[in-house]
Amino acid sequence: MRIVILISGRGSNMEALIEACADPVFPAEIALVIANRPTAEGLAKAGGRQIPTTVIDHTTFADREAFEVAIDAAAREARADLICLAGFMRLLSPWLVGRWRGRMINIHPSLLPAFRGLHVHERVLESGVRFSGCTVHFVSPEMDEGPIIAQAAIPVLPDDTPDALAARVLEQEHRIYPLAVRLIAERRVRITGHQVELKDAPLASGALINPAAPSPGDP
């Protein structure tokens, strides 16, 4: 499976995908990294691994439609099978999401559907919830509402700060994003309505796959 990754900044989840794809048995490869900011740190990281990169700077386009047409064209030229958003800080229109429906995924630093949007970790701590985590989901026109592929949960500690919580959640993001890509590449994922069905996918240690798939021999 050929992956195109969209980034806006440092690209830490991009790096996790790069590491996964470096394994010869991993069923995917990164065809292109696209950044909407020429200063995105992830560009140098990807280039250093001999991965093709390009900048599609949203500030140079007259409107969002023209910007997204350029993204779509670049992804298609790269023969992408899947687009992975990895810290891509632009809302996408229903047009682009529709063009890549079922072939575009995102990772969000909360246990969706809770805490959609920005400033997640501050809101988690303010709410008093005892668990947080991250979610990999298919992208839908509504923000952070697409069918869920995988989630990982961690406890919220009494002395957590937003930065400390974010760092621990990020560790889990780096684990479940490659997991979700692998499941898709191995054709174990099927969207049914607003849910994801998984085929022959055992529950991964530390990851809550939604819906949970029992391992062989489980009751």
| Token pair recorded at residue 145 | 């509402």
Output DSSP code: residue 216.
Answer: T
pLDDT digits (tens, 9 = 90+) for 99-127: 999 999 999 999 999 999 999 999 999 99
58 is catalytic: no
pLDDT digits (tens, 9 = 90+) for 27-79: 999 999 999 999 999 999 999 999 999 999 999 999 999 999 999 999 999 99
Distance linking the first and last C-alpha atoms of the chain = 34
Whether residue 216 has a cis bond before it, omega within 30° of 0: no
Catalytic residue among 58, 108, 119, 121: 108
pLDDT digits (tens, 9 = 90+) for 174-202: 999 999 999 999 999 999 989 999 987 65
How far apart are alpha carbons 20 and 1 in whole angstroms? 13
Rg (CA), the chain: 17
- Computed over every residue of the chain, the mean pLDDT equals 92
Q: Any residues with CB less than 8 A from the CB of 181 and at least 6 apart, and which?
A: 1, 3, 17, 20, 28, 82, 84, 105
